[in-house]
Structure 1
Amino acid sequence: MKPPRGLSAEEADAWARVAATVAPLRPVRGPTAAIAAPPPAAPSASSKPPAAPWPQPRKASAAAPRTAPPKSQPERAPATLDSHWDRRFRAGAIEPDLTLDLHGHTLDTAYTRLMDGIAQARAMDARVVLLIAGRSRPVEHADRAGRRGAIRAKVLDWLAASRHAPAIAAIRKAHPRHGGDGALYIVLRRAR
């Protein structure tokens, strides 16, 4: 096996510049040892003038304790169900534990009813909530507040941004016997 060839003067200079831009993960304690760069090569007629020297990188101390960074949000399990659940949804064999009907509500009252209903379902330890929100209709993004289908257009956004989002395992279209395109099943995770 050949020994490593080492860095040329240009490579060492480039490496020193890159290393100087890196901040240490942990503060350095105690004496530091600077990495010495090789002396610059003699300038040739075609070469550029030497650039200003970069600060030398510091070597991290081995005595610094390793700590894990704090987690910003709790980890959630993937929002998927096994094939048993999907087969039962397709066959219409699911019986909802709670039904929420948002017909006749304004956007504000529908949001409140949805959040209160999911809180109630979680308190009951329900697994499947049938949400009747009407059929989705093509509406302009700026016109979702006044036209038909406005509640259905907002439901998924409301659920994703709510305090209940970590408790939702999946959302599926309802079987025709439960409302088909006009309804959704909300599957909640089991309380621990």
Structure 2
Amino acid sequence: MAGSRPRASRAFPAATPRRRRWRCSRSRHDEPTPRRRVRRGAPVAAARFTLDDRGPDGVDGWASGFDRRELRALRRGAVEPELEVDLHGLVRADARRALRALLREAVETGARCVLVVHGRGNRSEAGPVLRASLADWLAEEPHGPRVLAFAAAADRRGGATYVLLRRRRRS
């Protein structure tokens, strides 16, 4: 017939579909930067804390009902830490365990303020890996409900975060 085209099945015999290859654009182990984490909302930390991105200084967070004046005092270092942990040189899993042990000890001893030294992350290609994970770790159970606020410490502390814990209820 004039002006008609052959049917597709006759024009392309037995075409087999190619197998799809799925590629992931980034590794599942990549941590978002603190700025991206605040923008998207951290999965655990954003549910428990109000987060404030302070740019290269880090992320501050506080529970509902917390007085922001106390947060400023915490940032300045007006509250002296009673316990301290240094996470320099630890891989993420070991750093998380060390932080949980510190929080457990703080709860047992009744410490109100602790200092977590995580470093600035200058030597890491991925940036400050531990600092980026810290907000989520502080929000996790069983010690998450005990954390009242956290704030990046002054530069003289060298890449550290103050963590303020709730007072223990008297029974």
TM-score, scaled relative to structure 2: 0.54
What's the CA shift for 1:92? 2.9
Q: Name whichever structure is richer in strand by fraction.
A: 2
Aligned pair count?
109
Q: Match of 2:109?
A: 124
Work out which of the two has the higher radius of gyration on C-alpha atoms and give 1 or 2: 1
Deviations 1:43-86 (A, max 9, x none): xxxxxxxxxxxxxxxxxxxxxxxxxxxxxxxxx99445325523
Runs of 4+ with >3 A deviation:
76-81
**Percent identity over paired residues:** 37
Q: Match of 2:137?
A: 158
What's the CA shift for 1:165? 0.6
Q: Secondary structure at the match of 2:148?
A: strand
Between the two structures, name the one with larger relative contact order (CA 8 Å, sep ≥ 6): 2
What's the CA shift for 1:127? 0.6
Deviations 1:3-45 (A, max 9, x none): xxxxxxxxxxxxxxxxxxxxxxxxxxxxxxxxxxxxxxxxxxx
Asked if the contact 1:103/1:132 (under 8 Å) is kept, the reply is: yes
Quickly say closer, same or farther: Cα 1:86–1:105, change in 2 above 3 A: same
TM-score, scaled relative to structure 1: 0.49
Q: State how far apart, in whole Å, the 2-side matches of 1:186 and 1:115 are.
A: 12
**Is residue 187 from structure 1 mapped to residue 169 from structure 2 by the alignment?**
no
Kindly report the root-mean-square deviation, in angstroms, between the aligned alpha carbons of the 2 structures: 2.8
Asked if the contact 1:80/1:169 (under 8 Å) is kept, the reply is: no
What's the CA shift for 1:173? 1.2
Residue ranges of structure 1 left out of the alignment (5+ in a row): 1-75, 140-145
Residue ranges of structure 2 left out of the alignment (5+ in a row): 1-48, 50-61
